[in-house]
Each structure stands twice: as C-alpha cells, then as structure tokens.
Structure 1
Amino acid sequence: MSRLSKKAIFASLALMTFASQLMSAPLPLPGNSPVPAPLPKPAFAQTDQVLPSWPVTYSFEQLGRATDTLLLGINSSDVVEFSLRRDRIASDASLQLEYTPSPALIPTLSHIRVYLNDVLMGVLPIEKDHLGRKTTQKMALDPRLVSDFNRVRLEFVGHYTDICEDPANNTLWVNISRGSGITLQEQALSLQNDLAFFPLPFFDPRNNSKLELPFVFAANPTLGEQKAAAILASYFGSQSNWRGASFPVSFDSLPGVQNKDAVQPTVVFATNDHRPAFMSDLEKFPAVTAPVVEMINHPDAPYSKILLVMGRNEEDLTTAAKALALGGNLLRGSRVTIDKVQELQPRKPYDAPAWMRTDRPVRFAELITYPQQLQVSGLQPRPITLDVNLPPDLFVWRNQGIPLRTQYRYTAPSANDDSRLNISLNDQFITSLPLLRKDTSNLEELRLAVLSNDTANVNDKLIVPSLKIGDRNRLRFDFNFASTVGSSQRDRCQTILPANTQAIIDEDSTIDMSGYHHYISMPDLKAFVRSGFPFSRMADMSESIVVVPGNPTPTQISTLLEAVSGISARSGYPAFGVRLSNDWAAASKEDVDLLLLGEMAPELRDNPDLSVLLQRQHDMLVQPYGTTGIDANNRRGPSTDGRNIPANRTEVTAQAPIAAMLGMQSPTHNQRSIVALLGNEDADYNLLREAMGDSGKLDAVAGSVALVRSSGVYSQLVGDQYFVGNLPWYLLLWYQLSEHPVLLAVLAVVSVLLSAFLLWRALSWAANRRLHKDD
C-alpha cells in the first residue's frame, strides 16, 4: 500500500470519529448554554486582574556609591549593581544619569555607553552645551533583561584631539554623580501559598531596603508567645543583617491595609486557648494538635500573605519558630506540621558566624562574600577590600602585632618601576610592597600594628588595649601599576596600547587572631550597639535573660523584638537560647547577662553609680565631676582619676519623650552585665526604636549611659568601671601596674636594690666560705 493511500485512510478514520462524537454530544437547549469541562488548575496562581505595581528609585548612593565616580581615559568604566526581589518583576526601567564632562572634550565624538547586564542599552552623546556643566539625561532600560541580580555598566569614550591622542591625558574625564538613579516599575507576582519559597515573601535577601514585618498577637501575650516571636524575629534579623528590621506589633487584629492591592506580609502567633480575635472562628481556623505553620492570603488584600504560627501551647510556638529558622529547606506546601526540633550540639563562646574565628588562622576564602572579590583588573584597578569582624573584647596589649600572611599574583610590569601594592587597615596605612618585573607570584608575612582601641574605651586612659580597628574592620589592598600608556612629540606621534593588567590576592592568604585573651572594660554601650556584646558572646543568647514588663504594650514588644533581632544581626545567628522573664528578683540572681526593658528595678535605683533614672513623675540625671561626658560626636572627657565619680544631680519634669540606654555591672555576679532600655510611654520607646535602627545615632552611643531625645543622642561615662574576662596573673599584674608609672618606677628601683643586696650577700657568703675553707 502506498504512503498516500495510508494517509487517506487515517484521515477518513479521523473524520468518522469526530462525526460520531459530534452526533453523540447533547445539543444545547434554547435558553441553556453548554457546560464546559473543568480545566486543570495551573501550577501557579493566575488572575485576569491587573497586578499591583509601583515605582521604586535607587540612587547610586543607596547602591553603594558613597562619593561621585570619576571616569578617566585609562579607567573608563564603572559598574553599578542592583537587585530585584524574587516575587516581583520589572514592567519598566530607566536610568537617570547625572554627570559633568570635562570642558576639554570634543563634542559628539565623546560619549557614554550604557549597558544593562552586558547588553548595550544606548549611547549618551556629550554635546557642546554639556561641557563643564552638570547634565542630567534619562535613558530607558529594557525591563525584559532585569533579573534578580543586575549590573549597569557605564563606559566613557573621550576625545580631546583628533590626532596623536594620549589616553592618559588628564583632560579626559567625566564625573558621574552619586545622585544618579535607577527607576523600576516593580510589579508584584501572584504567588501561591507555598512554604517552599520561605523566607519569601516575608524576607528576600535581594531587597536592599529595611525589613518591615508586622507581628500579631492575642491581647496580653504571654512570656512564651513573646519568646517565640523573639526567636523568629532574631532569625529575620540575622538574615537582614545590615539592612535592619522593624517589627510593628498589634493585638487581636491584622494591620490595616490602604487598598486591596497592598503587598504587606504579616506573622500571626496563636495557641488553641489564646488566639487573636480574627481567628475566633474554629471552623475556619480549627484547633491544632501539634506545632503548625501555615501560609494564607490576607482576607482584605489577596496579594499579601499571612504566616500563621500555631500550637497547642507556648512550647509549641517556640518549636514552630525554631523550625522556621532551622528547617526552612524542608518546608513545602501551604501547611506544615513540625514533628521535632532537637539541638545536637550546644553553642560555644565567641562562635558567632558573623565573627572571624580566633582559635586558628583564617583563610581569606572564609571571609569573602561574593566570587571574584579578591581579583581586579585594569591599569588603575579598584581596591580589594575584605571585612574582618572580631569580638570587641580581644586583649592584645603589648603584643607585637597580628600575623598577616599575604599571597598575591599580578601581571608583571614591563620594567622595574614604581608599581606597588599598598596595604591599609580601616584607611590607616600599614605597608607598601614593590611589584617587581620577574615575580608574578609573591608571599609576604606581615604583622599588623597593634594600637589602643578608642571605640571600646570611652576615656583617654589605656584601660583595655585592643586593635585600632576594633570589632568591625576593613582590610584594603591597592594595586598601583606604573606604566607608560602613550607619548607624543611635535614631529613624532606614538601611542602604546596598555596591557590587560590583572591582580589577585590568593584565597589561601591568612590572618591569625589566635592566642589572644578576652578582657574588656565595662560598661561599654558602644560594644553593645556595634556587636551586641555581652549578649552575643553566646551566639544563641543562651546566657542571657530579657526582663520585660508584666503587661507590655505593642510598642514595648516591638522594642523587644527589634533589640533581640539587632543582636542576632551582629552575631549572624538566631537567638534560640534566649529566655524571657518578668520577675526581676529571680532573674537577677542567675549567672547571666540581663537585658532590661521598661522601668529600672527598685533595688538598682539607689546604686551610687547610676547615671540616669526615668520615672513617670520626674527624670533624674547624674553627671561626673568636671566633665560633660561623651557628647553626640563621641568626644571623650578627661582621663584623670576621679573624674567619673558622680558629683552632680539634676531633676526635671517634662512632657516631651525621652529614652535612655544604660549599662552597669550586675549586683550579684561581677562578671555579668546589665543593659537597660528605659522609657515610660510609647513615644519614649519609639525614640529607642528609631535610634536602634539609625546607624548614625548608633555611632553616637558610648559610655555607660546614652540619652535619646528628638534632637539626637547624648552619651556619657559615669561611675566606676569593671572588667569582664580573664587574664593570666602575670599579664594582669603588668597591666595593672602600667596604669601607675610612678609606682612601677618605685617597684623597679626597689627590685634593683633588693637584687643588688641579695647578690652582695651571696658574694659575701661565697667569699667567707672560701676563706674558712682555706683556713
């Protein structure tokens, strides 16, 4: 049978089958419409409704450009990076570029190329009227190229003459303003209720803005409910890190939404016997028999998601919160039941993931945050920076320095010129190494200089020496290549194309902080706001108790959540071991560090070193003798002994809000500390929350007390200092004597005289023995 006849037969059979199906199907009656067969549900939620969208603008300053960028003829490109949340898309994008070109450029020939993710978006010509003037131009970017991580590259092509041009001429420049920005029309995606994407949509690391996540409780939340919320808030804090986090709290009802297109995720805590009022319908929200986590839609805003953390009791809520923080990779579906959460190994002191290890040398590969961080290219490459975070209580007094073993490779210069590698620490120059022609790989073993840490000590006395860099440090490597790029003479023109110069700091380079003791002078609020110390000493806060009011308001709970999340943001680990108490008498007897939220305990108000007391009736401030302490600019007072003894007391009554941070020694354990966040009204706690979320105000916190007002932060040091940590007896002896040079000189003279006397007696005894032996 031929191929054509086979096709004809198959076509005839298909027509006959279709005709039989058509005849057997019921015909629609008048007035009735045929009922279509149900379609299978799609894997992702779909809607015919227009999804909510809004414009978002990121300035270059917000994207990491603290200063303007200068593009030169030999360093003619710059890259600006931005990200987009995974649950959003960009329906439109544009670049608004502010720049000032050199007045010596040739118009039209000079221009700026704009790339988005290595795709050319367009060219901005430099016109005659732009020369030497600040110019603003807008260019559309293709939104189809915008992904979760994006790069906008600017390339400057400049010309100052049409013949014999030197690419290194200093007239070839254009200044890119940090006020330039990228505008995105972000559109929310209609997501299914699937916990497989957790922590989305509640947190996305691609979002550079501050996290704002409302928490909802039933009225009068218990200590167990607050503890579960603190654990979950600490997880989000450890994830948000430098972005910061805010946790507005409400009772019984969900936060209001402006319109149904709002996109605002929310977390709700509920037990079977104590749940918010909107969950009173047991048919819609039935009781649970185990810890349960469920994601649902907001009843008034379908694009907003609600995370229900439910349990039979408070212990179930804590288990569910830990499961969200630890087992996020196991979650899937809209509802998950937690069977078990078990701690296999307890945490150890100073093992916070955000801190560099101090028990062994650390490779640079353990400190990098993104690939190719240690590699640069170009004739004038960007500096290589490496962040080194340390515990604030490292004691390196009288140490020769920190071993820094640096391996690096580079493109060899054409001759032994002035090419060098400069190494600095927090903008403090350390050393300069020559880049020789024959050595493309080198190894240097340095020792970072050790100085006193003025950030951890609040007066001029050398109380606890530490690194000048303190707890947050930046190690910087600058490769500077000297090369002849081009030259020209009157009758002879010569242009040399520069080589593709590259340099790299090897990942096997190490920095060694092992062998140092932990010893620090307290109280030190600077260590608290910068590193969460002393509570972050144990990364999970297992040696800390937070003392909260008996009947907290929503604002007080928000302050609690943001304080704990701030500590976890600095340690990089959730506070699984934190404990809460509303009984000061019982908490103060335990061998733990105390974080006090609310009013000062009655037995602490008579402390002679107390520097501030906030009450509902009046406010009291005690100042040291002859000094105004530490002001908002961190200027330190005199270091003379006795200057910190309280000598003045002021009491006022006012209506405007005021809050305070107070540090002191525990009255029952001399190695433990108390940090109190004091306030009376909700307005006071809002001042505290604002200060804890503002990096500029946190930089002004120091000493033993910091007053927070609408005008800013005022810090001072008052009262006696104490020490936390341990030192060997010989090191402690020398350190104590170092603060009394006159006594040390007297002891030295006495020691010399005593040694001379003993030596004289020994020689006399030996001589007498020899004489008696001869006799």
Structure 2
Amino acid sequence: MGRLNASDTPAGAAPPAPEPVPSWTVSRTFGQLDQQKDQLLFGLQNNRQIEFTLRRDRIASEAELTLDYTPSPALLPNLSHLRVYLNEVLMGTVAIEREQLGTRNRHQMTLDPRLISDFNRVRIEFVGHYQDLCEDPGHSALWLNLAQDSRISLREQALVLSNDLAFFPRPFFDKWDGDKTRVNMVFAADPSLGEQRAAGILASYFGSLAGWRGTEFPVWFDELPVAGSEPGTTPSVVFATNDRRPAAVTALDRFLPVAAPEVALIDHPADPFRKVMLVLGRHDEDLAVAARALALGGKLLRGDRVRVLEAQPLQPRRPYDAPNWIATDRPVSFAELISYPEQLQVHGPQPGPITLELNLPPDLFVWRNQGIPLETQYRYTPPSVDDDSRLSISLNEQFITSLPLSGSHHGRLAALGLAVTARETANASNKLLVPAQNMGAKNRLRYDFSFASTFGGAQPDRCQTVLAVDTRALIDEGSTIDLSGYHHFIAMPDLAAFARSGFPFSRMADLSETLVLIPATTTATRLATLLETLAGIAAETGYPALALRLSDDWNEAREADADLLVFGTLPESQGYDVELADVLQKPGAWLLQGAVSTPQARHQARRRLEQGAFPPEARVEVRARGPLAAIVGMQSPYAAQRSIVALLANDEADFRLLRATLGDSRRLAAVSGSVALVRASGVESQLVGSQYYVGYLPWWLKIWFLLSSHPVLLAGLTVLCTLLAAFLLWRALRWAAHRRRHEA
C-alpha cells in the first residue's frame, strides 16, 4: 500500500498533513542496566561505567541522567565533585555542597542526544577531598555511594525503514534492544498444524537470538494489530498459503498466489512505521521451508521479496552440541566463551572481577569426581609489594583458590619481543581442579586480581605525592576448561532441568528427538504459549527448532522414539486421564493421581492414598473461581529413556497464567520436582512418585551410585563381600595345604 507523493495532490488542494512520528519515553534504573546493588566509589576506585543501548530503528531526541547518591560526611564541600561523561564526552559536573554531606541526594542532568548511538556508556567519576594538604588517596573517608535507583531516561523516536530483507532479523530482533523481543504472529482463523509448525520454527529462531531478553509472541487471527492496540512499533509476521490467508492480507493479491516458498517485507497498511513480513507458500510444507530459510539463510536475503529454493541444514545435529553449551568432548578455550573482546581484561589500582558464564548440560554426571581440569594463563603488571598481591578464583561465589602475584621476572628479554614477554608484564599459568560438586547447569567463573601497592605518606612533616600505577591484568584466551570424559546421567523427572535448560528436549538442539502434542483446536493464548515455550528452549540452546514436529494425534506418540512436550491435557485413552482436577494437595506432598503410565499403576496410587500412605490431617472441600495451571514431569510409557513434560491448563485464564509464569524468570526458578502447581500467588513444586534415570553409566559406576543413597544396604553388602572373600581365601588355603600334604 503506497503513500501519496506531493505530485499526487490535486491542484488547489492543501497538501496532506505529515504523519505523526511515534515517540515514547523509556526510563531504566542502574539496577535494570546490570548494576544489581548500590556501588561505592572510593579514592582509588573512583569511577563507575553504566552501559545502555538503543535500537537501530530508533533515535533519541532527548536524554536525561538522574543521579541518586550519598557522599561521605567527611568530604570537603565544593572541592569534592562528580564528573559525568557520555561516550567519553564531558557532559557536566556535580558539586557536592555542604548540606548534601552524609545525606541522600538527587540530581538531574541533561545529556546530549546527538552523542547517543546503538551502544553507549555513561561514566561517573568521583573527585573527593577530605583535607587541603597531604591527602592519602586510599583514606577511608573518601567514598560516595551511587544508588542503583539512579536512572537514564530517553525520549525515543521511530524511524521509517526501507523494505529490505538485507537487514533481517531487524526490525523483528535487534541485538541492541535490552527489552523482551516482541513480534506479532498473524494467522487465518483456526490455524493448521503446518502453520503452527512454521510459526514455531520462526519463533524459536527469534528466541535463540533473544537469549536472556526473553520473547513475547501475541497471536492474532484474521487481523493485523493497529496503532494503539500495543506499545511501540511492534512488527508482525503473517503466515499464509494459496488456500488459506488471513482476512487482513486478502486485499494484497499482488503477493498471492505463489509458486514456491516466498518471504516478503512490506509496510503495515495503516502505519508506515511498522513492518509486516509475509511468509507465503503453496501449502503448509512451503511455510516450514520459508521459516527454515529465515533461520538458516538470513545473511543471503536482500530486497523486499525473496523466493526460497532450498533450506536444509548440511549436517545433522549431535546430542549436547547446543551452541550455548560448553563442549563436553574436548577441552574448551576461553576464546570460545567470551561475549565481547575486552571481557578478559581489567585495569586500575583495584581492578574489577573478570567473569565467564559456563553453561553445561544439566545431565552431566560429575558425582564424586576428583575435579574438573582448569588451566589458567594470565598476565599482569608486576606489583610493587609481592607478599600481599593475589589472584583469587571462585565458582558460583564459592572460593576455590588464591594464587600469589609475584613481581619477579623470569627469562631474558628478547630483542624486538612481543608485549606479552616484555619486562612490564609478568606471565604466569596455573593448573587446578575445580570441585565438581560446585558445578551446575549455569555457572559463573570469576577471577579477582588484588594488587598491594604503597603510596606516599600523608604526614604533615613528610608530605609527598605518588602517582598510582595503572595496573593491568588479563586472563589469556588460550586458558582452557576440560569437561571431556564425563558421562550423561540424571534422575528424572526433574522440572528444574526443564525450566532452566529446556531439558530433556534441548539434548538435541534442533528438537529432532522431540514430539510436541497440542490440542486439535487452539486459541490465540494457547498458541502464544506454545510459541513462547519453544522460543524459551531455543534461548537456552542458542539454536532454532529446525526439526520441530507437531501433532494432535496421540497414536503418533506411540510410534515415535521421542520426548513428549504436551500442552493442554493428557488424554484418558492413553492411560493418563490427567487434568488439573487430578492434581490434589495432601499434607506435605502433592499427589498426581493420573501421572502414571498404566491404569494399574494409577489404581495402586489411589490405594496407597486410601491406605494412609499420605495420612490426612483434615478434609477440605472448596469451590472457587480463579486461574490454575500445572507443569508435570513423568516417564514416557513408550520408551524407558524418554520423558513427558505436560503443561496442563483447562481454559483461557489458566493458559494466561501459565504463559505469564513461563515468561517470568523469578517464577520459573521455583519450578522443580515432578509437579509444579501454578497459581496467581506463585509456584509450588514437589517431587512425588518414583524416579527413573536417563542416560548412560558403566555398570560398576551405576551400581556404586545407586547404592550410595542406601548406606545400611551398602554396609551389609560390604560385610557380605568381605565374608565371601574370606571364605574363598580360606578354601584356597585349605586346598593348598591339602595338596602339600599329598605331595609330601
């Protein structure tokens, strides 16, 4: 749908009024910008950097910084102040007045919006003085508390973009956007399995890009969202075949019908600031091909319309090869783990920590292991005081070890040597074993360099000034961590593994060993829950669900050697009969009456309940209105090594509650065990029923592991084995003595 040009205006008529440019104010606190607590600025560690981003399809027309700070009461007023820089350009100073000392203050400062680009950095520098002469830069009186409630506010304005797929995945996903990735999904009424599958593939692709940001996919049937129905300029994706198309795009006949899978990018018919991507095909399979092409070949796209000839991955995925997970079949260098170039470098008299995120498969078996090999190579400016300088290493905030930082130098300085071998840098390496019991699915490895330095004295009779050395340190990218040789073995059901890592479905990053079972009919909320769940799994693996399989037929589950992800209810015909009414609360436990594989097992569970396995303390019957949902994990009845995770909900309110829980990291952290009951008040989880094990262990290690939880039995077996060995030894000695007597 084109827009009028000036030449199209009739003679004598007034030109049309320009379309208003959408704009809005975005305000983020330092706490939302990764400063999780108040920060203290000291005399030696006197600056703090706050980073923020701006989408490339927006510009900032106004910018403001609000500082919440508390200065030390011992500071000299006016002589002490703050300097504020935006992208290393001085924006202004904030003088500390006498009445502000020791109290919390707020100051607003205008920032120059012309300096704001996609990645920005505000640096706040504290210049503190507590006396006129002979100051000690490390004196405890020099401090200023910078509150995490400080904020940066931007007036953002939308830009009109060209319809060019060369910029894909923008504007649907922009890496500079720190908010949730939000994309509207538009279908014809009652979308088919093929349409839902194509949307699932594309949603998982956006999820793999969004990662920690999260995703949100509002679903619309037969209509495009218009301005005012949602915030910002959220883009939309329309799925349409030659025979089935949403009513909103029926008038766009120039894009339909098609002779092959196609992707087109157009302006929203009623809003030029919004983009609409049409995913087109002759039939449902064409839609899946087009979705895979967007996920695999985004760098090949260009123009406003693309015809897809082929879209298939060249090599099949292997178990545990998710891009976001550390490889477990070889040593991994730190160069593969960093997110930005300067991540392994720090500088300053008191440098900050160096951190690395280590994401592991949740079923990695490290029980009673001696430790995980960690080889660290590091370089640093030699300290002036050898005895008190240290490199501390910790994992998940648990201290591991501390290494001395020596100022001595080893080896000769070669002519024209590289900087890494110069006298100004001490080189060292260390090999250690990280305690395996400290490792989980998500880990943070932290290095803290602590340098001891001697500065000039501040005595009146011996006043001198010493310029502090700009100490530098780094962890070499060639450092390695080695997780090879470990088995994969985990006790199931474990909903915490699903909530945090998408396991067991994420075992194959493309979901090639997963079957998703959905109701025969769907609604906008149910479909949005499906799409956001698939995107959440992809966010953990970093890879889209290219091999996604959807079905509404439980008979297909019987034939498939796959883990089952179920939405809605479990049908009674399959031996489950599990609805929310079957999740009953008992004192100290949750009993899922139907979450067993056979009717006989379900009958036994009911008998245990009646016989007092869970003795009742009271009987309560209620009838209430309110949303209720559940997440249930169990063993698949069709394969011993396969699992079922069911997201149970009955009506739209239940699905809205379930969807909100899956999109909230704090609520999701409470999901664990085998049953998680979801209510408006929160999530309550319990482990009920028998456990089963998924994965492989050598028989001797598996026996030792299973017996470790039964010490009495293990002691009895040890005594029995000792007696048996003694008896065999006694029989052998008797036989040897008997043989000697006969030979004599």
TM-score by length of 2: 0.90
Q: 1:698 aligns with which of 640, 654, 668?
A: 668
* Helix, strand or coil at the partner of 1:303: strand
Aligned to 1:56: 26
Q: Is the 8 A contact 1:621 1:651 kept in 2?
A: no
Q: 2:428 aligns with which of 435, 442, 448?
A: 442
Aligned to 1:79: 49
Q: Is the 8 A contact 2:258 2:281 kept in 1?
A: yes
For residues 266-285 of structure 1, the aligned pairs below 5 Å read 266-281=236-251, 283-285=253-255
| CA distance in structure 2 between the partners assigned to 1:255 and 1:522 by the alignment | 42
Aligned to 2:514: 544
| CA distance in structure 1 between the partners assigned to 2:65 and 2:232 by the alignment | 26
| CA distance in structure 2 between the partners assigned to 1:723 and 1:259 by the alignment | 48
Q: 1:506 aligns with which of 476, 479, 504?
A: 476
Q: Which amino acid aligns with 2:582?
A: M
Structure 2: 5+ residue runs without aligned partners? Answer: 1-5, 9-16, 410-425, 593-607
Q: 2:214 aligns with which of 244, 248, 263?
A: 244
Q: Is the 8 A contact 1:620 1:651 kept in 2?
A: no
Q: 2:644 aligns with which of 649, 658, 674?
A: 674
Q: Which amino acid aligns with 2:462?
A: R
For residues 269-348 of structure 1, the aligned pairs below 5 Å read 269-281=239-251, 283-348=253-318
Instruction: Provide, for residues 393-412 of structure 1, a one-character-per-residue CA deviation record: whole Å limited to 9, x for no partner.
Output: 01112210111111111111
| CA distance in structure 1 between the partners assigned to 2:254 and 2:332 by the alignment | 54
Aligned to 1:665: 635
Deviation at 1:236, TM superposition (A): 0.4
- Which range moved further: 137-146 or 539-548? 137-146
Q: Which amino acid aligns with 1:350?
A: Y
| CA distance in structure 2 between the partners assigned to 1:650 and 1:532 by the alignment | 36
Q: Is the 8 A contact 2:385 2:454 kept in 1?
A: no
Instruction: Provide, for residues 193-234 of structure 1, a one-character-per-residue CA deviation record: whole Å limited to 9, x for no partner.
Output: 111111111110100001111100001110000000000000
Aligned to 2:600: none
| CA distance in structure 2 between the partners assigned to 1:627 and 1:478 by the alignment | 44
Q: 1:69 aligns with which of 36, 39, 44?
A: 39
| CA distance in structure 2 between the partners assigned to 1:362 and 1:73 by the alignment | 39
| CA distance in structure 1 between the partners assigned to 2:651 and 2:728 by the alignment | 70
The answer to whether structure 1 residue 723 and structure 2 residue 698 are counterparts is no
* Helix, strand or coil at the partner of 1:304: strand
The answer to whether structure 1 residue 560 and structure 2 residue 530 are counterparts is yes
The answer to whether structure 1 residue 171 and structure 2 residue 136 are counterparts is no
Specify whether residues 262 and 754 from structure 1 end up closer, same or farther in structure 2 by C-alpha distance, changes over 3 A only: closer
| CA distance in structure 1 between the partners assigned to 2:457 and 2:149 by the alignment | 36
Q: Which amino acid aligns with 2:236?
A: T
Aligned to 1:493: 463
Q: Which amino acid aligns with 1:768?
A: H
Deviation at 1:605, TM superposition (A): 6.0
For residues 335-374 of structure 1, the aligned pairs below 5 Å read 335-374=305-344
| CA distance in structure 1 between the partners assigned to 2:374 and 2:230 by the alignment | 57
Aligned to 1:233: 203
The answer to whether structure 1 residue 613 and structure 2 residue 575 are counterparts is no
Aligned to 1:455: none
Q: Is the 8 A contact 2:506 2:541 kept in 1?
A: yes
Aligned to 1:708: 678
Deviation at 1:485, TM superposition (A): 2.5
Aligned to 1:108: 78
- Which range moved further: 239-248 or 488-497? 488-497
Q: 1:423 aligns with which of 384, 387, 393?
A: 393
Aligned to 2:403: 433
Deviation at 1:433, TM superposition (A): 1.0
Deviation at 1:71, TM superposition (A): 0.5
CA-based RMSD of the aligned residues comes to: 2.2
Q: Is the 8 A contact 2:384 2:452 kept in 1?
A: no
Q: Which amino acid aligns with 1:516?
A: Y
Q: Is the 8 A contact 1:624 1:645 kept in 2?
A: no
Deviation at 1:425, TM superposition (A): 0.6
Instruction: Provide, for residues 7-41 of structure 1, a one-character-per-residue CA deviation record: whole Å limited to 9, x for no partner.
Output: xxxxxxxxxxxxxxxxxxxxxxxxxxxxx999xxx
| CA distance in structure 1 between the partners assigned to 2:587 and 2:228 by the alignment | 54
Deviation at 1:335, TM superposition (A): 0.7
Q: Is the 8 A contact 1:406 1:506 kept in 2?
A: yes
- Which range moved further: 338-347 or 580-589? 580-589
Q: Is the 8 A contact 1:295 1:335 kept in 2?
A: yes
Aligned to 1:195: 165
Q: Is the 8 A contact 1:403 1:448 kept in 2?
A: yes
Q: Which amino acid aligns with 1:409?
A: R
Deviation at 1:628, TM superposition (A): 6.7
Q: Which amino acid aligns with 1:447?
A: L
Specify whether residues 276 and 388 from structure 1 end up closer, same or farther in structure 2 by C-alpha distance, changes over 3 A only: same
Aligned to 1:215: 185
| CA distance in structure 2 between the partners assigned to 1:326 and 1:352 by the alignment | 15
| CA distance in structure 2 between the partners assigned to 1:485 and 1:434 by the alignment | 21
| CA distance in structure 1 between the partners assigned to 2:625 and 2:335 by the alignment | 54
Aligned to 1:757: 727
| CA distance in structure 2 between the partners assigned to 1:108 and 1:494 by the alignment | 24
| CA distance in structure 1 between the partners assigned to 2:19 and 2:187 by the alignment | 32
| CA distance in structure 2 between the partners assigned to 1:650 and 1:234 by the alignment | 43
Instruction: Provide, for residues 418-445 of structure 1, a one-character-per-residue CA deviation record: whole Å limited to 9, x for no partner.
Output: 1111111110111111111215211111
| CA distance in structure 1 between the partners assigned to 2:483 and 2:230 by the alignment | 54
* Helix, strand or coil at the partner of 1:227: helix
| CA distance in structure 1 between the partners assigned to 2:125 and 2:313 by the alignment | 53
Deviation at 1:282, TM superposition (A): 6.2
Q: Which amino acid aligns with 1:596?
A: V
Specify whether residues 734 and 645 from structure 1 end up closer, same or farther in structure 2 by C-alpha distance, changes over 3 A only: farther
Specify whether residues 653 and 754 from structure 1 end up closer, same or farther in structure 2 by C-alpha distance, changes over 3 A only: same
| CA distance in structure 1 between the partners assigned to 2:633 and 2:253 by the alignment | 50
Q: Which amino acid aligns with 1:706?
A: A
Q: Which amino acid aligns with 2:307?
A: T
Q: Percent identity?
A: 59
Q: Is the 8 A contact 1:168 1:486 kept in 2?
A: no
Deviation at 1:645, TM superposition (A): 6.6
* Helix, strand or coil at the partner of 2:106: strand
- Which range moved further: 597-606 or 169-178? 597-606
| CA distance in structure 2 between the partners assigned to 1:349 and 1:368 by the alignment | 23
Aligned to 1:483: 453
Specify whether residues 250 and 538 from structure 1 end up closer, same or farther in structure 2 by C-alpha distance, changes over 3 A only: same
Q: Is the 8 A contact 1:623 1:718 kept in 2?
A: no
Q: How many residues align?
A: 696
Q: Is the 8 A contact 2:570 2:576 kept in 1?
A: no
* Helix, strand or coil at the partner of 2:237: strand
* Helix, strand or coil at the partner of 1:156: strand
Aligned to 1:599: 569
Aligned to 1:42: none
Q: Is the 8 A contact 2:584 2:590 kept in 1?
A: no
Deviation at 1:738, TM superposition (A): 1.5
| CA distance in structure 2 between the partners assigned to 1:528 and 1:173 by the alignment | 45
Q: Which amino acid aligns with 2:451?
A: F
Q: Which amino acid aligns with 1:380?
A: Q
| CA distance in structure 1 between the partners assigned to 2:471 and 2:34 by the alignment | 25
Deviation at 1:494, TM superposition (A): 2.9
| CA distance in structure 2 between the partners assigned to 1:525 and 1:515 by the alignment | 26
| CA distance in structure 2 between the partners assigned to 1:683 and 1:574 by the alignment | 29
Q: Is the 8 A contact 1:646 1:719 kept in 2?
A: no
TM-score by length of 1: 0.87
Deviation at 1:184, TM superposition (A): 1.1
Q: Which amino acid aligns with 2:583?
A: L
* Helix, strand or coil at the partner of 1:764: helix
Q: Is the 8 A contact 1:665 1:672 kept in 2?
A: yes
The answer to whether structure 1 residue 137 and structure 2 residue 107 are counterparts is yes
Aligned to 2:421: none
| CA distance in structure 2 between the partners assigned to 1:709 and 1:521 by the alignment | 27
